[in-house]
A and B are shown apart, each in its own frame.
Chain A
Amino acid sequence: MEKQYKSVGEEAWKNNTEKASAELFIFTYGSLVVQLAKDYEDYSAVNKQLDKMGYNIGVRLVDDMMARTSLERCSGFSATAEVIAKVGFKLFLNVVPTVTNWSADAKEFSLILDDNPLNDFCELPPKAVADGLWYSNVLCGVIRGALEMMQMQTEVAYVRDVLRGDDVSEIRVKLVRMLDEEVPASDD
């Protein structure tokens, strides 16, 4: 099962993607965060805004990913975690985070990113670190938005970040509940 997702991700990355310049993307993202920091001046508001932007990206991104990889719905939450890591991240960022730290009830897991491309060329000023800025918080929003379109309500947040001095970047994904499909409003 795991091998299958890995090969789906790699094949989709090789064949079904138009590649863009990584540096352009990284610098565009960096200037976006800088502008948000200037506008809001409060780093927790910047975090929220990044998460919201990520959410808007995520709801569309998931359709794109499904179209490119012809995947079906996952059988369970662990399969979902594998797909996010091996197919989603691979397809769009060309990195494969590791899925670890499953909670006892299998409703939470961590994605360990050894190498986050968005962090290249980036250094956070001490004030940003002290105020709790999560630089790549947009990724959390993307995961949350994408999973909500797949009928899962989740809470996604950064736990550790290399830019703040930790050794690895870690995103914690927690499944709150499965959302039911909407039924058409009845006429009576």
Chain B
Amino acid sequence: MVAVYTLYIFDRHCECIFYTEWNRGRSPLSTDRSTAAATGGRSEGSKEPANTGHAVDGTGTHLAGDSQRPLVWPTSSTSTAHRVSPESPRNIAMEEEAKLVYGVAFSTRNIINKLNSKDSPQGGNPGGFMSFATNTYRLHYYESPTGVKFILTTDIAAVSMQPVLEMIYRNIYVEYVVKNPLFNVDPLASSPIENDYFRAVLNNYIREISTTASIA
């Protein structure tokens, strides 16, 4: 069984337009390990004290016993998503973390491109950077031809999540973000993804792959 921990989506301007995390209680990446059985109250901060994370409205995302809804970032004040609050237990702020993750993936991809003598100022992933692993997690990378980057962290057992990332790009991102007329594709600025359908479909998809046989 593949445990998926987090997903980051970066747009062409190197900005993190979407971040979400699942399985917080079991993820080695989260400092929030002790809340596996607790409610989501602590991680939400002071904004929604009454919402204990048990799905009251039927969007019940019970990921293999984890009763917490996936947290999402960045969010505006009008968003209905479960947000990663500034007070939630993390080692560094969300913006910093996103920048560091981007930097790691970007630099690794560039090194691999250079070693293959395929680097170009236009970017892309001709060197074929797919994933790297530490002793606690594995990070998978996928870059669309248009420069949108998807980064997924999972447990070490998942050897290749390229098909998963491609599915997320083709059937979820393109369908619910690119084709949404209200999503601002500005050549200069970035806009975060704040789209309930996108989140719902993504959560369903990740839940499905987490509960089927692991991809090896």
Majority secondary structure, B binding face: loop
B146 adjacent to A181 (CB under 8 Å): no
Residue A56 at the chain B interface, CB threshold 8 Å: yes
Q: Which of B18-66 contact A (CB under 8 A)?
A: none
Q: A63-94, CB under 8 A of B: which get 1 and which 0?
A: 11011101111000000000000000000000
Contacts of B70 in A (CB 8 A): none
CB atoms of B178 and A64 under 8 A apart: yes
Contact digits for B88-104, partner A, Cβ 8 Å, 1 yes 0 no: 00000000000100110
Assembled-state Cα–Cα distance A63/B9 (Å): 15
Residues A184 and B170 in contact, CB atoms below 8 Å apart: no
Tell me the bound Cα distance from A182 to B103 in angstroms: 12
| Residues on the B chain within 8 Å of A185, using CB | 14
Residues of B close to A148: CB separation below 8 A: 187
Contact of A67 among B103, B121, B124, B169 (CB under 8 A): B169
Mark out the residues of chain A between 12 and 31 whose CB falls within 8 Å of any chain B CB in the assembled complex. none
Is there an interface contact between A60 and B12, defined as CB atoms closer than 8 Å? no
Known: A59-B185, A67-B174, A184-B103. A151 touches B147 (CB 8 A): yes
Closest chain A residue to B183, Cβ basis: A60
Chain B, Cβ-Cβ closest to A55: B187
> Measured between alpha carbons, how far is A148 from B147 in the docked complex, in Å?
11
Chain B residues bordering chain A, tally (CB within 8 A): 27
A150 and B146 contacting across the interface, CB-CB below 8 Å = yes
Residues of B within 8 A of A180 (CB): 121-123
Report if A159 contacts B (CB, 8 A): no
> What residues of chain A lie closer than 8 Å to B103, measured between beta carbons?
184
A133 near B: Cβ within 8 Å? Answer: no
B13 interface contact, C-beta 8 A: yes
A178 at the interface (CB under 8 A from B): yes
CA distance A154 to B164 in the complex (A): 34
Give the docked Cα–Cα distance between A60 and B8 (Å). Answer: 20
| Chain A residues in 8 Å Cβ range of B170 | 67-68, 70
Q: How far, in Å, is A74 (CB) from chain B's closest CB?
A: 9
A130 interfacial contact with B, CB 8 Å: no
Known: A66-B146, A150-B146, A178-B122. 16 other contacts (CB 8 A): A59-B187, A60-B178, A62-B146, A63-B178, A64-B178, A64-B179, A70-B170, A71-B145, A73-B122, A73-B126, A148-B187, A149-B12, A180-B122, A183-B14, A184-B99, A184-B103
What 10 A-B pairs are tightest by C-beta distance, nearest first? A181-B123, A67-B170, A184-B14, A180-B121, A67-B174, A63-B178, A151-B122, A66-B145, A149-B146, A60-B178
Interface residues of B (CB under 8 A from A): 12-14, 99, 102-103, 106, 121-124, 126, 144-148, 166, 169-171, 173-174, 178-179, 185, 187
